[in-house]
Amino acid sequence: MQFSDAEDTLEDLPPSSKFIYKELTREGSMTLKGITEATLLGSRTARYGLEKLEEAGLVESAPAIHDGRQTCYSIRTRSMGDDRMGYPERLLVSPESARDMLSKFEADDPEFRLVEVSSTYDDGHIPGAVALDPQRDFSEAGSRTVPSRERLATILGERGITPDSTVVLYSDGVNEFAAFVYWVLKHYRHRDVRLLDGGKQYWTENDYRTTEREPDVTPVEYDVQPPNDQIRAYRDDVQDALSTDVTLVDVRSPEEYRGETSVPARASGHIPRTVNVEWTSVVQDSGRFEHRSALEQPFLEEDIDGENGIILYCNVGERSALVWFALSELLGYPHVQNYDGSWSEWGNLVDAPVESPRRSETDPGGWQAIGEIFVPIYHIRVANPVILSFPKETEVHAVYLRSVWTIYWCSVRELGAR
C-alpha cells in the first residue's frame, strides 16, 4: 500500500490505531508489550487499535524471530508486481508512490521532505526536492565523513527538516549517496527516513516529471540526537573482528578486492578474513533493489547469516551504506555495521594487516608499504646512519619529504622495537 493511501485510510480509524501506526512507522516491528510501552495505551486499547489496523490492511503480524511465542506487528508490505516481494513503504518508497506525493513535497510543509543527494541538482531534479551536496555537506579534506551533531543540525535545519519530518532520499547512480545519508540520519536517530527505490536513474529513465526550479523552504531548528553507534563500526571494531566470528564484507569490485586497481590509499588489497560481495549485486540494472530472494542470494552463497554480526566496508562508506540498507533494513539482518572509514582509512594505516596478491603474506602493511613510497623516487640504503640519495633531476616537495621521512623513521622505531 502506498503511504499516500495509508494516510487516507487512517483518517477513518480510531486514535489508538493512529498512535500505533505512527510508532510502527518509526520503530519497525514491535511486540504488543513494546507498543503499549511506547504509546502508553492500555493492553485492551492497543489490541483494539491493532485489530482495526489489520482489518484496514495497514498492519501485518508474524511470530517474533527470536521468540516464536510472541507476535510482532509491522506496517504491511505493499505489492510490487512483476513477481517481486514487497518491502515496507516506511523504508523504501516506490516511484509511483512518490509521484502521487509530489503536491505534498512541493508544499513548504516540514511533515514531508524530499531530498536529492547529488552534485547535479541544478541540472534537473524531482519537483519539491531540496538539495544536499555530498561533496560539500558530507566531505572533509577530500574524504567522505559523518558530520558532527552541530553540523548536521545546520544541514537539516536549513532544508526545513525537523526531527518529526518524513524524509525521502534519492540520488543519482544507484542511490549509494542517498543510502549513505540515510545511514547517517539513522546513526543520529532520525525517526522516519526512507529511500526512493531506483533513485534519480529510474525516475528520469521512465520520464517522470523533473524541474530546475528550487522550492521555497522555511528554515527550522533541528535538535540532533546522540549517535547510535550500534550501526557504525570504527577502526578498533574492525581490528577486534579479526579475532572473532564477526563477518567482514568488502563490497567493492573483485578487482579492488584483489588489489588490481588504484585506490585512494597507500596500500591496495583487502582486510584479512574478508568476504567479497560486490555492492551492485543488491540492485537491478534499472537501479531498483532486487526482490527479496535475489537480494539475499549472494550472501547465502557466502554463508553470511549475520548471527555473529556483520561489518561492511568499501572505500569511503557509500557503497557499503547501500548494502547496509539492503541487509539491515530490507532483509532484517541483526547487528549490521557500516565501517565508514573503510579502505580510505584502513589502507592508509602503516601497521594494519592487508591481504593482496601483490603483497607478501607476512607483510603487516609496514615495511613493504614504506618501500612502495620510497622506491619510485630515490634509493634507500639502510646503514648507520641511514643515507638517502636522490637523483639530481628529481624535484621533491619539502613538505612531502618531511612527511615521508617522519613515516619512515616512526615505522623503523616501532617495528624495530618488536
Active-site amino acid positions:
314
Cβ contact 139:264 at 8 Å: no
Cβ contact 125:213 at 8 Å: no
Cell numbers for 15, please give them: 486514535
CB under 8 Å to 23, separation ≥6 — which residues? 30, 35, 38, 39
Largest CA distance in the chain: 86
Burial 343-353 (b: 16+ CB within 10 A, else e): bbbbbbbbebb
Cβ contact 248:275 at 8 Å: yes
The CA–CA distances, whole Å, from 246 to 190, 233, 260, 369 equal 27, 12, 26, 27
d(CA 129, CA 210): 10
Report, in angstroms and rounded to the nearest whole number, the Rg of the chain calculated over CA atoms: 25
Cβ contact 340:146 at 8 Å: yes
168 forms bridges with which residues in the sheet? 114, 194
Cell numbers for 162, please give them: 525537523
Task: Report whether the peptide linkage leading into residue 385 is cis, meaning its omega lies within 30 degrees of zero.
Answer: yes
Q: Which long-range contacts (CB under 8 A, 24 or more apart) does 135-139 make?
A: 138/180, 138/181, 138/184
Q: Cβ atoms within 10 A of the Cβ of 341, count? A: 24
Half-sphere exposure of 362 (CA within 13 A, CB side): 0
Expressed in percent and rounded to 5, the helix, strand and coil fractions of the chain are 40, 15, 45
